[in-house]
Structure 1
Amino acid sequence: MGGRYLIDAVIGEGAFGVVYRAHREPDGERVALKSIHRHLCSDPQIFKRFQREADILKRIEGQHLAKVHEILEDNGLVIIVLEYVEGPSLEAILKTSAPELDQAVEITLQVCAALGAAHAAGVVHRDLKPANVIVERFAPRTTGLRVRVVDFGLAKVVHGDAAPGTVLTQRDMIFGTPEYMAPEQVRGDEVDLRADLYAAGVMLYEMVVGKVPFSGKSALATMEAHVRDEVPHPRSSRGGHSVPPSLAAVIRRALEKDPQARYPSARAFAEALTAAWSERLVITPNAPAAGTSIQDLETIDTELNLAEDARAAVKAAEAIQALPTTKALAMVTAPVAAPRILGDPPKAAKTKLSEPDPAGTTLRSAKNDAIESSREGAIRSRPAPEIRIEDPPPRPGGKIFWILAIVVAIACILVGIWIGSR
């Protein structure tokens, strides 16, 4: 193809196009060639959509996207020459076994990195799903994998300079894969980057739980469930495996029905996920009750938002734990800067760690709650102190007066007896 690419094998084929593995002459570099079927070149809508994908791929780049080498034409057939990515799709991985939790988190973080690069260029993927995620160097219970997000065939340019032919989707037209479509996408509304974050949340849910949150008997039933039904709690759906409450909270926020309630960006999603997995930060609607233990926190629904102040609060809690009790208690009651909810502007207000912030939530770390509850439990377990009421001690001068008075009285008695005897 193109006079300098020799096809080695077919990697994948669909209703609209095909992807080949090929090598370039004369250096032999392996590449992937993507083109639509030749008989569809006469279909203006399909041909323009493929041309749009080529234009979109030229404007985005990132280490978690397949690099575009060039776009060429061969006898009227448009061919996209891509970096060849070797590895199974996430769809193929999920068919054999679910990734470990740490692998699921790592895959999602890298997907967020790819989405961040696309969104920065004004591109929304609109068809993010496991089949469009390639995982290099994947093996069970290992690290070091690398993720690539591919297939921008349904992508949309939402801002920036749109290339000619990029506006092809009309309002109320529905595109996507039912199991991974955001509610607004199902309704045919205008979508933005938060639709991609919803799809990333569905994939994370699927990796953690072992199944997608919604899967009806038909595509229509599945799409309606995204709009109507509550997302099954990840922690109640994963049989025999423990999902940290902070991780479950991140998933649930990513799958909010209202786009405004989801994370505002791929970076915000990634930062919250990083904190949930590595630092176990939780934000509860109210401060945990006195005596709440780590085990009790496992049953509390949590909502997590990450800010730099949250990380500082965890480090402060760890420092407090290492101090003597009196100093630690003094530091806990000292005022600290109120945590910022990600996406909101910094606030100058001050608050105490034990007081709710203006949004009605209190930042707590599980470790700090355990420290405080253990202290309170220890105080409650001690017997009440015995209280004695005593007369105030007499002054030293009073004792001397009474001793002298007694001596004088005895002396008078003795003198009286002596006089009487004479």
Structure 2
Amino acid sequence: MAAAATSPAGSDGARTPRQKEMKGLLLGRYEIGKLIGQGTFAKVYHARNVSNGEGVAIKVIDKEKIMKIGLIAHIKREISILRRVRHPNIVQLFEVMATKSKIFFVMEYVKGGELFSKVAKGRLKEEVARKYFQQLVSAVAFCHARGVYHRDLKPENILLDEDGNLKVSDFGLSAIPDQIKQDGLFHTLCGTPAYVAPEVLARKGYDAAKVDIWSCGVILFVLMAGYLPFHDQNVMSMYKKIHKGEFRCPRWFSPDLIRLLTRMIDTNPETRITIPEIMDTKWFKKGFKHVKFYIEDDKLCNVDSCDTEEFASLLDHALLEPETEIESRRKIPILPRPASLNAFDIISFSRGFDLSGLFEEGSNGGTRFVTAAPVSTIISKLEEIAKVVSFTVRKKDCRVSLEGSRDGVKGPLTIAAEIFELTPLLRVVEVKKKGGDRFEYEEFCNKELKPGLQSLVMGEVADSSYNLPSDTK
């Protein structure tokens, strides 16, 4: 659905009932415009952020449909991937919202159209093709460094902004290291036939980084030639050409370009050129400038609930701090910093707005509560509780493990507590049963843990959504 972010905005005329409903769901923050793209499970609308007037693309996913056909993990992975990849040459995810029936991705609106539209008119000038290719490789290198592999790179999934800069989009088929099998390879058959690497077609496992490099090579060939290196009306015949690596470079390709393409479109992934080697070639380096940009780790977007006031008020405390404050805290660490909760984590604070519940059956047996107490005070409280019941305490940074000394029905009771930073003034403590019997855990929570930690829980949020103990499994 790469084209979704490229079409012109709709008119400001009368809205359909569906558009009015969506506007309400989004708390009136986005004026929904024209439908600009549609897939099997999602629709993409142009919208306007009413606070600043900027255009965005909103991808609306039907939750019921994706759950029925087992795409739960797929959507969860896409969210995880989009959290990792913020780069000037990658379409940006601004925020994620959800209701009981829909999931909304608020994306960067890219006005310039697909790269495919430019290539469809004929081959590009070498300096233009080189610029696009440099930006593409820069984006792909960044993704790989963050453990993300696109696996469906093609001109249709590459957009151009109004300044003519390239933006990689559509990470729906992307992969992360968690999907690697025991042999260290990926095995999912995916991609677009004309751009897919031969090892993917062979179905014997593949290195996803090398697959992306092959696709980049095919894209470069298309930019410079105006046609595909492997093409046949019969798909099986085309696959045979890909498997053999049969392609010819036009006469206008320079020797340096031919050498680069030959190493990228190499049927042997073991000898195929790597990203650092590509960036070190003479053809690539001509006029190349490294992109400098600031990334604020894992704080990519805000998330609002459309039907939970508690969540909306909590979010007010979770707005991003000024960049100068973030930098100064990094330079002068006093105590181990808790991991920062980002917008995606905050979703789980409200049961009516719990994305983890969309993707996983049941609960993880954990309980969270919000506190203004310092990390050191929280840890001290946990140590005091452990001392009273003769539990062993193990600490690592902002994680604390309380381990019982006697065997219960299902072995020793073990409880893990982890501290997260919500804002510079607020912490979230998550408590889970890691081992032992459920009844013993609940008894421990009611008699020891809850009374011991109650003084830390913030009164204004100390209700059934946040308080100890929780129902565990």
* TM-score band, normalised by shorter chain: 0.5 to 0.7
Aligned pairs for 1:147-166 (under 5 A) are: 147-158=166-177, 162=178
Equivalent pair of 1:49/1:153 in contact (CA under 8 Å): yes
Distance 2:78 2:70 in 1: 12
The aligned counterpart of 2:198 is: 183
The aligned counterpart of 1:141 is: none
Deviations 1:104-149 (A, max 9, x none): 1111110001101110100100000001111224xxxxxx631110
Equivalent pair of 2:62/2:101 in contact (CA under 8 Å): no
1:220 aligns with 2:229: no
1:271 aligns with 2:280: yes
1:91 aligns with 2:116: yes
The aligned counterpart of 2:8 is: none
Q: Structure 2 residue aligned with 1:132, among 144, 153, 157?
A: 157
1:201 aligns with 2:226: no
Distance 1:275 1:77 in 2: 44
1:259 aligns with 2:259: no
| Matched position secondary structure for 1:33 | strand
Q: Given the superposition, is the C-alpha separation of residues 80 and 217 from structure 1 closer, same or farther in structure 2, using an over 3 Å criterion?
A: same
Q: Structure 2 residue aligned with 1:9, among 34, 38, 43?
A: 34
The aligned counterpart of 2:399 is: none
Gapped regions of structure 1 (runs ≥ 5): 138-143, 237-241, 280-422
Deviations 1:231-282 (A, max 9, x none): 22x134xxxxx221111111111100011222222x4323315457569xxx
- Structure-1-length-normalised TM-score: 0.57
The aligned counterpart of 1:58 is: 83
The aligned counterpart of 2:250 is: 235
Q: Given the superposition, is the C-alpha separation of residues 16 and 231 from structure 1 closer, same or farther in structure 2, using an over 3 Å criterion?
A: farther
Distance 1:275 1:190 in 2: 26
For 2:244, the aligned partner's letter is R
The aligned counterpart of 2:107 is: 82
Equivalent pair of 2:245/2:266 in contact (CA under 8 Å): no
The aligned counterpart of 1:247 is: 257
The aligned counterpart of 2:15 is: none
Gapped regions of structure 2 (runs ≥ 5): 1-21, 289-473
Distance 1:97 1:8 in 2: 33
Moved more, 170-179 or 60-69: 170-179
Moved more, 256-265 or 45-54: 45-54
Aligned length: 259
Equivalent pair of 1:181/1:223 in contact (CA under 8 Å): no
Distance 1:157 1:275 in 2: 27
- For residue 13 of structure 1, report the CA deviation from its aligned partner: 2.1
- For residue 217 of structure 1, report the CA deviation from its aligned partner: 2.1
The aligned counterpart of 1:192 is: 208
- For residue 60 of structure 1, report the CA deviation from its aligned partner: 1.5
The aligned counterpart of 1:34 is: 59
Distance 1:46 1:218 in 2: 31
The aligned counterpart of 2:165 is: 146
Q: Given the superposition, is the C-alpha separation of residues 36 and 273 from structure 1 closer, same or farther in structure 2, using an over 3 Å criterion?
A: farther
| Matched position secondary structure for 1:69 | strand
For 2:259, the aligned partner's letter is A
The aligned counterpart of 1:46 is: 71
| Matched position secondary structure for 1:45 | coil
Equivalent pair of 1:247/1:276 in contact (CA under 8 Å): no
Distance 2:219 2:186 in 1: 26
Moved more, 126-135 or 13-22: 13-22
- For residue 44 of structure 1, report the CA deviation from its aligned partner: 4.5
- Structure-2-length-normalised TM-score: 0.51
The aligned counterpart of 1:408 is: none
- For residue 46 of structure 1, report the CA deviation from its aligned partner: 2.3
| Matched position secondary structure for 2:211 | helix
Aligned pairs for 1:214-363 (under 5 A) are: 214-232=230-248, 234-236=249-251, 242-265=252-275, 267-272=276-281, 274-275=283-284
- Whichever of the two has the greater Rg, that structure is 1
Which structure features the higher share of strand residues?
Answer: 2
Distance 1:43 1:221 in 2: 36
Distance 2:80 2:176 in 1: 10
Equivalent pair of 1:126/1:176 in contact (CA under 8 Å): yes
- For residue 38 of structure 1, report the CA deviation from its aligned partner: 5.5
For 1:252, the aligned partner's letter is T
Deviations 1:43-94 (A, max 9, x none): 3432331221111101121111122211111333222111222111111111
1:119 aligns with 2:144: yes
- For residue 28 of structure 1, report the CA deviation from its aligned partner: 2.4
Q: Given the superposition, is the C-alpha separation of residues 225 and 39 from structure 1 closer, same or farther in structure 2, using an over 3 Å criterion?
A: farther
Deviations 1:351-388 (A, max 9, x none): xxxxxxxxxxxxxxxxxxxxxxxxxxxxxxxxxxxxxx
For 1:208, the aligned partner's letter is M
